Structure 1
Amino acid sequence: MTEQVRDALHDDRPASLGKLVEHLTEQTSRLVRAEVALAKAELAEKAARSGMGAGLLAGALVFLTYALGVLILAAVLGLGVVWPLWLSALTIGLFLVLLAVVLVLVGVRQLKRAGRPPETVQRVKDDITTIKEGMRR
């Protein structure tokens, strides 16, 4: 509480409406500034955490890529015990190409579904058209 408000409360005379509105405006302004400062601080903290998380995920992706290469080599060498090495490498390579084709097809289908505008957008457009037509009448 500010000194002016405290003085007004302890004063036997009732504060004028103008003074009360002035104090209310001042306090509201302070509250809004404090809330904005708090929101900025929270967003900065979240951004720092998000950046750290994204960096750690990128590092994990690099190691996962190397691990996948080692596992593919292990599969080729494992099949190379039973088959000639060239045939095992060809088999694993063709399997990976087939897997990639399936993933591409599924991904393209998902992108086509996502490319359509949401039903909500169409309903809002219909509502706007209906309101405009209603105002013309």
Structure 2
Amino acid sequence: MSHAPDLGSSAAPGAGAGQREGLGELFSSVTEDLSTLVRQEIALAKAEATQSGKRAGKGAGLLAGAGVSGHFVLLFLSVAAWWGLGEVIGRGWSALVVAAVWAVVAAVLAVRGRSELRAVRGLPDTTSTLQKVPSALKGHEEENHR
């Protein structure tokens, strides 16, 4: 029996430790990259949500204006009917003209408000980039570019 050292068994632990360090560094790098990606996606989502929120707010404000204008239509139609009975033509017709003007204002605000709400895009850039994450993690980033 020889007491010579077994070179094969002593080389394996050294190689395994180096391999573990390499895997550890790789895992650390992947974790860091994934963390950066998540932070960037959150920042993009915040920016898009802010933009969409502003558009939705503008559309809602225009629709609220249409609601107030609609209230004035009812008010002036009521005043027109009242004044129309009191006078032959003078005051009644003038109240109807004012009511018609408010009806036009309400219609214009409603149409504009509706178009503003339809123009809200949501979060298209965030959605697009999030769909690319699984392929990018596999090393195939360009697969989802069409």
TM-score interval w.r.t. the shorter chain?
0.3 to 0.5
Q: RCO (CA 8 Å, sep 6+): is it higher in 1 or 2?
A: 2
- Max radius of gyration: which structure? 2
Question: Normalised by the size of structure 1, how large is the TM-score?
Answer: 0.47
